[in-house]
């Protein structure tokens, strides 16, 4: 199924005559609110992508987009290389929270609440994909923290998150509050990391190939505790604290006595509480200035239950020797001074040309961030 954008009368006529084509819109006034460092520019790569969340890149440049509420999976193409997607396809619909998308060995994988799906050659027929293979059909069906994040690792295995079905609770099954690892067929499943309340974006350090992942901390302890976390998992079997310990040393009021914080893995970095870090990406390209190369970009989705909201931005974590040292704001302006929210960044994807795509599930758009060398 192909979706058309809402355009002017002329563009609608073109879309009727040429149903593949989606004409890029001019830069809207609200986008001018977004500020970036000198030399960087933000534009709209694709619009009318309802509830756009996780992003994945095919070997042929197709961008795949997972959603949460919409139930769709989209495919986007920029056929003329102008930085705007001119083809948009709904390649799957009526799925239950198909948030997780990734590409491995040329195949597209999608994680819903209960299933792991695979299309082996998706770009061959984006207009009418056949039904996918169902590789896994028994993920827990709890919808609270049940949206899966999915990523292919450098070891050619799939990593999928299984969140806790609660704000804070003792896990009813060992599989909850974990990151699972499995092979490309969905087999040989194992718990790679545990004690993870709501694991979200993840990526592997470009030099060490070690896993880092964001985690959203528990609610209802106040505006400023506990911190959200960046965790470092260089090996399998590590326990990252939930539900016993939050942040570095905040014992849970109910479960903290059962396992002390010093016996559990502390976060590699503590974000402000409730800032909701989602997408995580280590920049591997060369088109950004050298100080950004190898650093981690974080989509901070924004708070939902804080007295004074914060987040709604993209941060950069400066790394040295495999450790984060500092956090700076890279892009902001989605949260206005009066509290109005213009958008909520979710995921970050690097294209082959070194530009970054950022999804926004509130506005239903994909942004493109580029750098132009200052003269």
- Res. 146 pLDDT band, cuts 50 70 90: confident
In a domain, 78, yes or no: no
* Residue at 268 is within a domain: no
CA–CA dist 270, 245 (Å, integer): 13
Phi then psi dihedrals of residue 123, to 5 deg: -75, -10
* Confidence band of 180 (pLDDT split at 50, 70, 90): very high
Q: Is residue 198 in some structural domain?
A: no
pLDDT of residue 38: 96
| pLDDT tens per residue across span 72-125 | 999 999 999 999 999 999 999 999 999 999 999 999 999 999 999 999 999 888
pLDDT digits (tens, 9 = 90+) for 53-75: 999 999 899 999 999 989 999 99
The answer as to whether 164 is a domain residue is no
Predicted confidence band at 22 (pLDDT cuts at 50, 70, 90)?
Answer: very low
- Measured distance CA(329)–CA(314) in Å, rounded: 6
Domains identified in the chain, total number: 1
Q: Are 53 and 68 in contact (CB under 8 A)?
A: yes
Sorting pLDDT into bands at 50, 70 and 90, what band is 373?
Answer: confident
CA distance 177 to 165: 8
3-class SS of residue 64: strand
Q: Which two tokens stand for residue 117?
A: 């799906």
Q: What is the pLDDT of residue 123?
A: 87
CA distances from 211 to 152, 219, 333 (A): 11, 25, 30
288: in domain: yes
Q: How many Å apart are CA 325 and CA 345, to the nearest integer?
A: 23
Residue 133's pLDDT is 97
Residue indicated by tokens 């699972």: 180
Residue 343 covered by a domain: yes
Q: For residue 287, is it within any domain?
A: yes
Question: Would 102 be classed as within a structural domain?
Answer: no
How far is the C-alpha of 139 from the C-alpha of 137, rounded, in Å?
6
Residue 340 has pLDDT above 90, yes or no: yes
Phi, psi (deg, nearest 5) at residue 181: -120, 140
Q: Is it the case that residue 15 has pLDDT exceeding 90?
A: no
Decide if 241 contacts 261 (C-beta within 8 A): yes
Tell me how far apart the alpha carbons of residues 3 and 19 are, in angstroms, rounded to a whole number. 8
The per-residue pLDDT for range 291-333, each reduced to its tens digit, is 999 999 999 999 998 999 999 999 999 999 999 999 999 999 9
User: Domain of 375?
Assistant: 25-48+274-375
């Amino acid at each position: 199924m192909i979706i058309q954008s809402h355009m002017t009368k002329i563009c609608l006529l073109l879309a009727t005559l040429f149903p593949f084509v989606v004409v890029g819109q001019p830069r809207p006034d609200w986008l001018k609110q977004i500020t970036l460092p000198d030399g960087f520019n933000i534009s709209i790569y694709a619009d009318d992508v309802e509830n756009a969340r996780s992003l994945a890149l095919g070997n042929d440049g197709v961008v795949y987009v997972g959603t949460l509420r919409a139930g769709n999976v989209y495919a986007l193409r920029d056929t003329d290389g102008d930085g705007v997607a001119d083809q948009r396809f709904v390649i799957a619909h009526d799925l239950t929270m198909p948030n997780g998308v990734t590409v491995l060995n040329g195949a597209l994988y999608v994680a819903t609440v209960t299933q792991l799906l695979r299309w082996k050659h998706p770009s061959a027929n984006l207009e009418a994909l056949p039904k996918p293979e169902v590789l896994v059909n028994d993920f827990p069906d709890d919808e609270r923290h049940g949206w899966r994040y999915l990523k292919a690792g450098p070891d050619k295995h799939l990593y999928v998150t299984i969140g806790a079905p609660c704000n804070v609770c003792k896990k009813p099954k060992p599989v909850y509050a974990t990151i699972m690892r499995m092979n490309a067929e969905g087999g040989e499943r194992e718990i790679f990391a545990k004690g993870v309340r709501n694991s979200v974006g993840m990526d592997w350090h470009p030099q060490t190939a070690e896993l880092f992942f964001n985690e959203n901390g528990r609610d209802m302890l106040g505006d400023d505790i506990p911190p959200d976390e960046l965790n470092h998992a260089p090996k399998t079997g590590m326990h990252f604290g939930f539900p016993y310990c939050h942040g570095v040393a905040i014992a849970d009021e109910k479960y903290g006595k059962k396992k002390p914080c010093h016996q559990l893995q502390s976060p590699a970095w503590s974000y402000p509480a409730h800032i909701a870090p989602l997408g995580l990406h280590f920049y591997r390209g060369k088109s950004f200035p050298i100080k950004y190369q190898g650093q981690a970009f974080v989509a901070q989705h924004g708070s939902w239950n804080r007295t004074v909201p914060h987040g709604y931005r993209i941060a950069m974590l400066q790394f040295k020797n495999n450790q984060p040292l500092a956090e700076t704001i890279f892009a902001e302006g989605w949260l206005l001074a009066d509290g109005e929210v213009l958008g909520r960044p979710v995921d970050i994807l690097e294209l082959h040309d070194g530009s970054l795509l950022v999804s926004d599930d509130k506005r239903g758009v994909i942004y493109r961030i580029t750098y132009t060398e200052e003269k």
